[in-house]
Amino acid sequence: MWERLDHGAGMATPSELRRMRGALVAVVLLVLGASASGLAVPRLAVDGGSPDVLTFGDDAGRVRNTVVRLRHRIVDDGWFPVTVSGVGLRADGVRLTEVREDGGRAFA
C-alpha cells in the first residue's frame, strides 16, 4: 500500500516555487518602496528661515538683552495627513516662545 501513495503530494512544483519567490520579492520591494515614499511612515520636512536678531539696550547704550528669533515651517511630505500632538525644544539657553498653525491659529 505504501508504494501506491503519491510521495510528491502536497509538494510545490519548480514553477510554483519560482512564482512564489517572485511574489515574495515583489512584496518586499513594494513594502520598501511604500516606506521610502512616505506611504507607510510620516515624512515631515522643515523649511528653515533666516534668523532675526534683536538687541535691547539701556539709556547708556549698553546691550542688556539679545534676542534671536528663528522661524521654522514644518511640512508633511507624506501621502497621508499626520497629526502632531506636541512641539517642544531641549537646548541650553534657548526657549521656545510660540508655536502656531499655518493659518496663524495657536497650536493646541
Place of cell 534683536: 54
Q: What is the pLDDT of residue 19?
A: 95
pLDDT at residue 104 is higher than 70: no
Percent of the chain with pLDDT over 90: 14
pLDDT greater than 80 at residue 103: no
User: What backbone torsions phi and psi does residue 80 show, to the nearest 5 degrees?
Assistant: -120, 155
- The amino acid occupying position 101 is E
**How many residues does this entry show for the chain?**
108
Residue identified by cell 495627513 is: 81
Place of cell 497621508: 80
Chain centroid to Cα 88, Å, comes to 16
Query: Cα-Cα-Cα-Cα dihedral of 103, 77, 88, 54, to 10°?
Result: -60
Distance CA 5, CA 22 (A): 31
Say yes or no to pLDDT of 23 above 80: yes
Please state, in angstroms and rounded to a whole number, the distance separating the CA atoms of residues 100 and 33: 33
Q: Is the pTM of this model over 0.85?
A: no
Q: Does an H or E element contain 38, and which? A: none
